[in-house]
């Protein structure tokens, strides 16, 4: 199943979602930003490292960097009008707060909610 996770900057939420999907065995997962920041937030790198998932070498990608396909799933992350309509068989919006400026404990709550939703999407047991 090919999955696209989209947020505004592609530096936090969508990066973590892509990493969790790959961690749970769905290698055909991607992430992008409608206005990519060009870097991964160090807080996201640290939060994922706590779980043994390394995203330190990831890139912050834009929508133009993606394969030109129809996605099985396009998941937006509460980015509203900033997330464009993408060709997808299924779509959902995970209205998640942007954790960019949150303290680590609150950042990790968003991370853990993303993990839960990715497991649910992929039908993976905890």
Catalytic residue among 21, 40, 48, 79: 79
32 in active site:
no
> Which member of 7, 47, 74, 110 is catalytic?
7
Instruction: Map tokens 């055909």 to a residue.
Output: 28
Say what the pLDDT of residue 82 is: 60
Note the pLDDT of residue 86: 83
7 is catalytic: yes
Catalytic residue among 3, 47, 48, 83: 83
Strands (E), 1-119: 3-7, 29-33, 71-76, 88-93
* Residue 45, domain CATH: 3.40.50.2300
Q: What distance lies between CA 15 and its chain's CA centroid?
A: 4
The count of structural domains within the chain is: 1
> For residue 57, what are the domain limits?
3-122
Q: What is the pLDDT of residues 16-74, one digit of tens each?
A: 999 999 999 999 999 999 889 999 999 999 999 999 999 999 999 999 889 999 999 99
For the segment 22-33, what is each residue's pLDDT rounded down to a tens digit? 999 999 999 999
116 is catalytic: no
CA pair distance 84, 79, nearest whole angstrom: 9
Give tens-digit pLDDT for 76-103. Answer: 987 665 666 789 999 999 989 999 999 9
């Amino acid at each position: 199943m090919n999955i696209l996770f989209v947020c505004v900057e592609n530096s936090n939420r969508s990066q973590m979602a892509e990493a969790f999907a790959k961690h749970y065995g769905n290698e055909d997962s991607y992430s992008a930003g409608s206005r990519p920041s060009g870097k991964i937030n160090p807080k996201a790198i640290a939060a994922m490292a706590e779980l043994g998932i390394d995203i330190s070498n990831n890139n912050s990608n834009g929508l133009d960097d993606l394969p030109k396909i129809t996605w099985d799933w396009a998941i937006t992350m509460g980015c509203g009008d900033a997330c464009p309509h993408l060709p997808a068989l299924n779509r959902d919006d995970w209205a998640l707060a942007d954790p960019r400026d949150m303290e680590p404990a609150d950042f990790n709550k968003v991370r853990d909610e993303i993990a839960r939703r990715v497991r649910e999407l992929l039908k993976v047991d905890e």
